[in-house]
Structure 1
C-alpha cells in the first residue's frame, strides 16, 4: 500500500507548526474537552504530543521533570517545550524512518485533526502528514479485514484506490479523504461509517474498524464531511 509521501520529519514538523498556529489563531481554554478523545482536554492532548516527542528523542528523564511540574504548565508552555524539541525530533525521524517514524506522524496528525474539530477550525485541504498517516491506517485496517476472514475492500480516495484485505475485492468504499481517514482512525460511529459511499451493504465489514488503539465511538463525536 505504498503511497507517495513527503519524509516523516517534514510531515511531523508541519504538525508541530500547525498545532502551535491553531492555538494562536483559535484561542481555546486549556480545559476545553476533545470530543474524539474521551476524558481529554486541549491541555491533555498537547501534553501527550510533547510526551511522545520526548520519548522519541530519548529525553525520557527530561520529560519526567516536565511531568512533575505539569500542573503549573499550560498549553502555551507545553507548545514551547514541543517546539524546543522539534529539531532533535526531526533528526531522529530522519535517521530512523520506516514504520516507527510513520506511526509518530500518524499520532501527531490525528491529534492535530482532533484539535481542529474541538476548536471549530477548518480542515486543511492538503497536509504533508496525510499520506504517511493514511498509509498506516490502511495497513492496520487491511490486517483486520483479513483477520476477520472478510472479503477485501477497495478504498477509493482522491481518485486513487488501495486494496484492504486479501483476495478479490467484494466492495468499494469511497468518499471524502477525511471521512475515510477519521473512520479508519476510530473517530466515526458504525452508523456514520455505513453512511459513507459503499458499493454494497457495509455491515459485515464494521468489526474491522476496531483495531489497535482505534475503537469507533458509540455516539457521534464529529460530523461527516459528506454523505452519499
Structure 2
C-alpha cells in the first residue's frame, strides 16, 4: 500500500488551530510551561511562532497581517492566531494547490509538541497528518539521496509504505505512524531511531535524519 495525497494541504490548517485551541482552552495557566520538543520555548513562545509564520504566509499571498500583537494570555494569543489564520484560510483556498504545505506541516508538528508537553496523546485522525507527513518524507528523501545512501522503505504496522531516496529500497524501517512522523520531524534521538524496527543495521541512515530545520535531539524525544 502506498499513501496518497487526498486533499490540498491547507485543508488541515483550520483543524490544527481548532485542535490547539481545544487543547489549551482549559489550561490558560500553562503560558510559561516549557515545551520539551522545543526546549527554548514556552507555550506562549510556540503560539507566537505559529501566528508569526501565518503572518508571513499572508504577506506572501498579497495580504497585510495585523500589526504585531501585545497579546499576553493564552486566550489572547489564540485569538490573534485565529485572526491571522482565518484570513490565511481564505487566501490559501483561493490559491488552491499545495501552497501552504510547509506551514501546515510546521503547525501540525507543533500541535503534537504541545500535546506531548501537556501529556495528551496524539489525535487518532487529523486532516493535517497525511499532507504533513508527505512534506517530511520528501525532505528526508532528499537527505537520503543527497548523502548518497541507498533508498529506505518507511512502513507502518498497518502496511502503509513510503520510499525515501532514489531507486529500490534496500532496507525497511517499521514503526507506528506517529513515531515515524516524530522521527522525520527531529523529535526522536539517535538511540530512539536505532531502536525502531529495522530490517538492516540502521547506522548508514541515521545521519540522514538531520535535514532542513530538523535534527535528532541529544535527549530522548517526545
- TM-score normalised over the length of structure 2: 0.91
Confirm whether residue 180 of structure 1 aligns to residue 184 of structure 2. no
Deviation at 1:77, TM superposition (A): 0.3
Whether the 8 Å CA contact 2:20–2:111 is kept in 1: the answer is yes
Whether the 8 Å CA contact 2:12–2:104 is kept in 1: the answer is yes
Equivalent runs, 1:58-97 vs 2, <5 Å: 58=59, 62-63=66-67, 65-66=68-69, 69-70=70-71, 73-97=72-96
- Partner Cα distance (1:16, 1:201) in 2: 40
Equivalent runs, 1:115-134 vs 2, <5 Å: 115-134=114-133
Cα distance change of structure 1 residues 203 and 97 upon mapping to structure 2, 3 Å threshold: farther
Whether the 8 Å CA contact 1:9–1:91 is kept in 2: the answer is no
- Partner Cα distance (1:221, 1:28) in 2: 24
Unaligned runs of 5+ in 2: none
- Partner Cα distance (2:99, 2:216) in 1: 24
Equivalent runs, 1:92-111 vs 2, <5 Å: 92-111=91-110
Of 98-107 and 212-221, more deviation after overlay is shown by 98-107
Whether the 8 Å CA contact 2:28–2:73 is kept in 1: the answer is no
Report how many aligned residue pairs link the two structures. Answer: 217
Deviation at 1:84, TM superposition (A): 2.2
Cα deviation 1:100-123 (Å, max 9, x = unaligned): 411111011000000000011121
Cα deviation 1:37-61 (Å, max 9, x = unaligned): 1210000000101111122212666
Cα distance change of structure 1 residues 43 and 146 upon mapping to structure 2, 3 Å threshold: same
Whether the 8 Å CA contact 2:36–2:117 is kept in 1: the answer is yes
Question: Is the partner of 1:6 in helix, strand or coil?
Answer: coil
Question: Is the partner of 1:169 in helix, strand or coil?
Answer: coil
Whether the 8 Å CA contact 1:6–1:129 is kept in 2: the answer is no
Equivalent runs, 1:129-148 vs 2, <5 Å: 129-148=128-147
Deviation at 1:9, TM superposition (A): 2.9
Whether the 8 Å CA contact 2:25–2:75 is kept in 1: the answer is no
Cα deviation 1:79-111 (Å, max 9, x = unaligned): 011222332111122233445411111011000
Whether the 8 Å CA contact 1:8–1:97 is kept in 2: the answer is no
Whether the 8 Å CA contact 1:34–1:40 is kept in 2: the answer is yes
RMSD: 1.8
- TM-score normalised over the length of structure 1: 0.89
